């Protein structure tokens, strides 16, 4: 199924949770934050949110900036 991750359409397995996706992408769960369909998803909820086709996901982190 397709979801939109950071603005790009990507193919992911059915039933994948946010926690699974973060792990799959080898991201450090301590430093990234996730916005699920424009709503902030806090870490505790990641295993429970099962992705559905068409979902919009933003995974963000802090970088240098002025």
Partner 1 sequence: MSDPLVIGGRELTSRLFLGTGKFASNRLIPGAVQASGAQVVTVALRRVDPDFPEENIVNFVPEGCILMPNTSGARNAREAVRIARLGRAAGCGNWVKIEIITDNRYLLPDNFETIKATEELAAEGFVVLPYVSPDLMVARKLAEAGAAAVMPLGAPIGSNRGLKMKEMIRILIEEISLPVIVDAGIGRPSQAAEAMEMGAAAVLVNTAIATAGDPVAMARAFALAVEAGRTAFLSGPGEVQQYARASSPLTGFLRDE
Over the Cα atoms of the chain, what is R_g?
12
Q: Of 7, 9, 11, 14, which lies in the binding site for partner 1, with binding defined by CB under 8 A?
A: 7
Tokens describing residue 14: 């059915």
Contacts of 17 (CB under 8 A, 6+ apart): 46, 47, 48, 49, 50, 51
Stretch that binds partner 1, among 12-20, 36-44, 45-53 (CB under 8 A): 36-44
Q: Of 2, 15, 40, 47, which lies in the binding site for partner 1, with binding defined by CB under 8 A?
A: 40
Residues that bind partner 1 (CB under 8 A): 6-7, 25-28, 31-33, 35, 38, 40, 42, 58-66
């Amino acid at each position: 199924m397709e979801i939109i991750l950071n603005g790009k359409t990507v193919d992911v397995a059915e039933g994948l949770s946010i926690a699974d996706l973060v792990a799959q992408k080898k991201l450090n769960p301590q430093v990234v934050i996730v916005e699920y369909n424009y709503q902030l998803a806090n870490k505790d909820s990641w295993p429970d949110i099962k992705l559905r086709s068409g979902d919009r996901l933003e995974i963000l982190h802090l970088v240098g900036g002025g």
